[in-house]
Chain A
Amino acid sequence: MKEKEILAMLLAGGQGSRLGALTKTIAKPAVSFGGKYRIIDFSLSNCANSHIDTVGVLTQYRPYLLNSYIGTGSAWGLDASNGGVSILPPYATESGGEWYQGTADAIYRNLNYINLYDPKYVLILSGDHLYRMNYREMLKCHKENNADLTISVMKVPMEEASRFGIMTTDETGRIVKFSEKPKQPDSDLASMGIYIFNKDVLEKALIEDSTDSSSEHDFGKNIIPKLLAEGKRLFCYEFSGFWMDVGTISSFHETSMGLLEEEPEFDLDDRDFPIFSNENISPPHYIGPEAEIQESIVGNGSEILGKVIHSVISVDSYVGTGALVKDSVLLPGAAVEEGATVNRAILGENSVIRAGAVFGSEDPKEDIAVIGDDFIVEKGGEA
């Protein structure tokens, strides 16, 4: 088989438990975002736009939707004959089978897949981050530094640095210290969980880590400190665009609302670097004769007969006559029936707010209201 310069391993097995109702039945990378996308679209599109045509997707938590959504990868132009997208779930061997124990363990157990393509470099990604990045730029930096491992970082406010994995570098960008969630951070460069390894270095580190019974088999906690201690060449690649790990309901809501700005910080519309998705083919949306719509984005297949203010209306949603939707996110197929009111809420896929029901509160002190996929809120009923 022809040698690949680089392949990507996309970690998509996480539950994203802090997203609560939104990840009850699907994995976090499969959660809908931005009216028509799923979170994994962003990293898959980054791969496609970076001309990386071989992507292993590691799944574990509730993978059905993710598997069927990714399909052959053709929606992202990733249905290559030598490579393409491969779904890599945990599997059994002659000595039994186990779940992936950590990020490093998941990659370790798929070394066979990586070696099938014999790449020089391995790109390791999370499938649950929102950003646009050309990984080729990062690879160029990796080669220029003659690095063993390059970690993509971004500057964060110093007061928030203690929430991240923080890199301390020398003047050449070489990492001299790595501290996971430090109480007294001495740098503001936070790891984005995007790594480029020389394959040989990665393979050796993973094999050694696999036999270490004290290890949690995690890149941040185990592999990076181990390589630093061995004196390997670890470098930072500083990224300055938009990057977001929508870990919580409130950050999901806030990031969604950010898309409604006239010039959003995270602009989904970039023809030179398009975000691809595997959408159903729905007709254009319809805005009714008595509808009112302001400061919103609307996906195909939706029908809006009521009032929509400052909201994200995803594909195939419905807002009935006399209904009000404000500061909210309707995920695909959500319905707000006649005369219902929805304020500062996230409605799961195919959920229904029955006619006349009230959901969510205008009061900014209240939490964002959420209902999961397929839930129904009756009039007078609680969420």
Chain B
Amino acid sequence: MERVIGIISANYETHDLGCLTQERTIASLPYGGRYRLIDFPLSNMVNSGISTVGLITPYKYRSVIDHIGAGKEWQLDRKNGGLFILPGSLFGVTSSEARFMIRDLKHNLIYLKRSMADYVILTASDVVYNMDYRDLLAQHISSGADITMLYSEAVEDAPHDLGLTLDGERVTSFLHGTKKGENIFRGCFVISRELLMNIISWYSSVDFMDIFEAIEPELGKMNVRVFRFGGYIRTVDSIRDYYIHSMELLRSDVRKELFTPLHPIMTKVQDSVPSKYIEGCCVRNSMIPAGCVIRGTVENSILFRGVKVEEGAVVRNSVLMQSCLVEAGAVVENAILDRKNVIKAGTVVKGSPENVFVMEKKTL
């Protein structure tokens, strides 16, 4: 897709992720045992043949830049095109909740101006899916739309997400908040580079708006259409979402679709050793990356690199991020442990499926 460039927006936040995004952005939230959320849109772009990608950085950009570097793992360390860091605008000390802030695009207009591409695909960085954007583009071109938005039916209520009212494939209005079964915008759209630059200039004086907020009154005139994604797709914007969708990765159909070797989700490589299972351990229905050592029991859980579960310890229905240590005899149930937590010997850490226990990242 030489005629397309990408933009990934990472300069926004949601308060419902609580301490998980205290020191990092949504884009760099660890997910699925070895990934960060941004790996999904970024890999989708590259797997769709897009070799020029701009990343609108968030205010707290350290963790995301640390992860992506020069884009080597995504083959974006290129002479022609490649990864472009597009500084996001500041809003006091926090970011806005708007995913596609016009000001962020305006400040990086030169990225669009210098490009020779006909189309731009823009994505959010909190949606988990594996998709070939070529299908989206093909429909966009054949339908003659001004903008084509990616959607699917919401699997549960999403109070913060944009819903779409449709007449056929045409978007007639936006809903602020989406209920289960309604059409939910999945944070990805395609637009011609020229129209995108026009929209930025039209709304340049009110540039603190999200692009969809800006065009909402124009829906009658603009040809805004949709592309339905029928595969597995989830938006992660609350702790509850994070937990439920993480657990869905234990389903074989979800893993097979999300991690198909045909379009692999790429991520920063850490050179960890293969994981080790010591005699006496008991591991069932769990997803475990390299670098773990398991002596105890692990059931229905997702571990990250470097997690150690000692003898007699039990980890159940939980997500344990990088370098957590569960000491001998400790119990962790229905919990999310952020990085480097140590659960002392004999301690019990328990949440319920409805109210998951979350332990924030330990600082060095």
A260–B293 alpha-carbon span in the complex (Å): 12
A281–B73 alpha-carbon span in the complex (Å): 9
Which stretch (B60-68, B121-129, B194-202, B258-266) binds chain A? B258-266
B274 near A284: Cβ-Cβ < 8 Å: no
A262–B278 alpha-carbon span in the complex (Å): 7
A291–B72 alpha-carbon span in the complex (Å): 36
**Which residues B1-42 have CB closer than 8 A to chain A?**
32-34
Over the window 252-293 of chain B, the binary record of Cβ atoms lying under 8 Å from chain A Cβ atoms (1 yes, 0 no) is 100100110100111101010111111111111111111100
Contact of A279 among B269, B282, B288 (CB under 8 A): B269
Contact of A289 among B255, B274, B278, B284 (CB under 8 A): B284
B259 near A291: Cβ-Cβ < 8 Å: no
In the complex, which residue of chain A has the Cβ closest to the Cβ of B73? Answer: A281
Chain A residue numbers with a CB within 8 Å of B303 are: 284
A287 near B265: Cβ-Cβ < 8 Å: no
A285 near B275: Cβ-Cβ < 8 Å: yes
Chain A residue numbers with a CB within 8 Å of B288 are: 284-287, 298
Which stretch (A11-19, A84-92, A270-278) binds chain B? A270-278
Chain B residue numbers with a CB within 8 Å of A298 are: 274-275, 277, 288
CB distance from A179 to the nearest CB of B (A): 39
Contact of B280 among A36, A281, A294 (CB under 8 A): A294
Contact of B276 among A275, A292, A297 (CB under 8 A): A297
A283 near B255: Cβ-Cβ < 8 Å: yes
Cβ of A269 within 8 Å of any chain B Cβ, yes or no, is yes
Of the listed residues B259, B269, B276, B287, the one surrounded by the most CB atoms of chain A closer than 10 A to its CB is: B276
Cβ of A293 within 8 Å of any chain B Cβ, yes or no, is yes
B274 near A293: Cβ-Cβ < 8 Å: no
A157–B267 alpha-carbon span in the complex (Å): 46
B271 near A285: Cβ-Cβ < 8 Å: no
Cβ of A63 within 8 Å of any chain B Cβ, yes or no, is no
Cβ of A74 within 8 Å of any chain B Cβ, yes or no, is yes
B281 near A293: Cβ-Cβ < 8 Å: yes
How many contacting A-B pairs (Cβ < 8 A)?
Answer: 104
Chain A residue numbers with a CB within 8 Å of B250 are: 286
A296 near B271: Cβ-Cβ < 8 Å: no
Chain A residue numbers with a CB within 8 Å of B72 are: 74
Main secondary structure, interface of B, reads loop
B34 near A294: Cβ-Cβ < 8 Å: no
B278 near A286: Cβ-Cβ < 8 Å: no
Contact of B266 among A262, A281, A284, A289 (CB under 8 A): A281
Cβ of A73 within 8 Å of any chain B Cβ, yes or no, is no
Chain A residue numbers with a CB within 8 Å of B278 are: 262, 295
In the complex, which residue of chain A has the Cβ closest to the Cβ of B77? Answer: A74
In the complex, which residue of chain B has the Cβ closest to the Cβ of A264? Answer: B276
A284–B267 alpha-carbon span in the complex (Å): 12
Chain B residue numbers with a CB within 8 Å of A312 are: 274
In the complex, which residue of chain B has the Cβ closest to the Cβ of A311? Answer: B277
Chain B residue numbers with a CB within 8 Å of A277 are: 271
CB distance from A333 to the nearest CB of B (A): 10
B34 near A283: Cβ-Cβ < 8 Å: yes
CB distance from A72 to the nearest CB of B (A): 10
A274–B33 alpha-carbon span in the complex (Å): 21
A293 near B267: Cβ-Cβ < 8 Å: no
B273 near A293: Cβ-Cβ < 8 Å: no
**Which residues A188-202 have CB closer than 8 A to chain B?**
none
A74–B274 alpha-carbon span in the complex (Å): 21
A294 near B277: Cβ-Cβ < 8 Å: yes
**Which residues B119-160 have CB closer than 8 A to chain A?**
none
A286 near B274: Cβ-Cβ < 8 Å: no
Chain A, interface size category, equals 35 or more
A284 near B269: Cβ-Cβ < 8 Å: no
Cβ of A162 within 8 Å of any chain B Cβ, yes or no, is no
- Given A274-B271, A300-B289, A287:B279 Cβ within 8 A: no
Chain B residue numbers with a CB within 8 Å of A287 are: 283-286, 288, 298
In the complex, which residue of chain B has the Cβ closest to the Cβ of A296? Answer: B277
- Given A284-B287, A285-B288, A297:B275 Cβ within 8 A: yes
CB distance from A48 to the nearest CB of B (A): 11
Chain A residue numbers with a CB within 8 Å of B271 are: 274-277
Chain B residue numbers with a CB within 8 Å of A35 are: 273-274
B284 near A288: Cβ-Cβ < 8 Å: yes
CB distance from B252 to the nearest CB of A (A): 8
B264 near A285: Cβ-Cβ < 8 Å: no
- Given A297-B274, A298-B277, A285:B287 Cβ within 8 A: yes
CB distance from B300 to the nearest CB of A (A): 9
A286 near B286: Cβ-Cβ < 8 Å: yes
Chain B residue numbers with a CB within 8 Å of A288 are: 284-285
Chain B residue numbers with a CB within 8 Å of A274 are: 271
Cβ of A101 within 8 Å of any chain B Cβ, yes or no, is no
Over the window 348-373 of chain A, the binary record of Cβ atoms lying under 8 Å from chain B Cβ atoms (1 yes, 0 no) is 00000000000000000000000000
Chain A residue numbers with a CB within 8 Å of B290 are: 36, 284, 299-300
A313–B276 alpha-carbon span in the complex (Å): 10
- Given A281-B264, A291-B284, A299:B274 Cβ within 8 A: yes
A1–B345 alpha-carbon span in the complex (Å): 59
A36–B271 alpha-carbon span in the complex (Å): 10
Contact of B277 among A75, A279, A286, A293 (CB under 8 A): A293
Cβ of A34 within 8 Å of any chain B Cβ, yes or no, is yes
Contact of B279 among A283, A295, A314, A315 (CB under 8 A): A295
A268–B252 alpha-carbon span in the complex (Å): 30
A315–B282 alpha-carbon span in the complex (Å): 21
- Given A262-B278, A285-B289, A297-B276, A291:B266 Cβ within 8 A: no
B284 near A283: Cβ-Cβ < 8 Å: no
A286–B255 alpha-carbon span in the complex (Å): 9
CB distance from B295 to the nearest CB of A (A): 9
Cβ of A280 within 8 Å of any chain B Cβ, yes or no, is yes
CB distance from B212 to the nearest CB of A (A): 33
Chain B residue numbers with a CB within 8 Å of A75 are: 269
In the complex, which residue of chain A has the Cβ closest to the Cβ of B300? Answer: A289
CB distance from B6 to the nearest CB of A (A): 19
Chain A residue numbers with a CB within 8 Å of B279 are: 294-295
Chain A residue numbers with a CB within 8 Å of B267 are: 281
Chain A residue numbers with a CB within 8 Å of B269 are: 75, 279, 281
Closest 4 CB pairs of A and B: A35-B274, A284-B33, A284-B289, A283-B259
8 A–B pairs (Cβ distance < 8 Å), ordered by A: A34-B273, A36-B273, A74-B72, A281-B266, A287-B288, A294-B281, A295-B279, A315-B274
Instruction: A281-B267, A290-B284 are known; give 15 further A-B pairs, CB within 8 A.
Output: A35-B273, A268-B274, A269-B291, A274-B271, A280-B264, A281-B269, A284-B289, A284-B302, A286-B288, A287-B285, A291-B283, A295-B278, A297-B273, A297-B274, A299-B274
